[in-house]
Structure 1
Amino acid sequence: MSFKMLEVEIFKTIVASTPLVAIDLVVRNSQEQVLLGLRNNRPGQGYWFVPGGRIQKEERFENAFDRLVKMELRCDAWFEQARFLRSYQHLYPDNFSGENFSTHYVVLGYELKLDINLNNLSADQHQDYRWFTVNELLASEQVHQHTKDYFL
Structure 2
Amino acid sequence: MQRLEHNLFKTIVAATPLISMDLIIRNANDQILLGLRANRPAQGSWFVPGGRIGKDETFEQAFSRLTREELGLTLALSEATFLGPYQHFYTDNFSGNDFSTHYVVLGYQLFLDIDLTTLPNEQHQHYQWWSEEALLSSDDVHANTKAYFSEKYK
Fold in common (TM above 0.5): yes
1:66 matched to 2:97? The reply is no
* Counterpart AA for 1:84: F
1:110 matched to 2:111? The reply is no
Q: Is 2:37–2:47's contact at 8 Å kept on the other side of the alignment? A: yes
Deviations 1:119-151 (A, max 9, x none): 000110000000000001001000000000000
* Counterpart AA for 2:16: T
1:95 matched to 2:88? The reply is no
Q: State the Cα distance separating 1:99 from its structure 2 match.
A: 4.1
The one of 109, 113, 132 aligned to 1:134 = 132
The one of 64, 82, 86 aligned to 2:84 = 86
- Count residues with an aligned counterpart: 150
SS, match of residue 98 in structure 2: coil
Q: Is 2:2–2:54's contact at 8 Å kept on the other side of the alignment? A: no
After TM superposition, what 4+ stretches of structure 1 lie above 3 angstroms from structure 2?
Answer: none
Runs of 5+ consecutive residues of structure 1 not aligned to the other structure: none
**Cross-structure match for 2:55:** 57
SS, match of residue 96 in structure 1: coil
| Coordinate RMSD, CA, aligned | 0.7
Percent of aligned pairs with the same amino acid? 57
**Distance in 2 of aligned mates of 1:19 and 1:46:** 22
Q: State the Cα distance separating 1:76 from its structure 2 match.
A: 2.8
**Distance in 1 of aligned mates of 2:97 and 2:11:** 11
Deviations 1:5-32 (A, max 9, x none): 1100000000000000000000000110
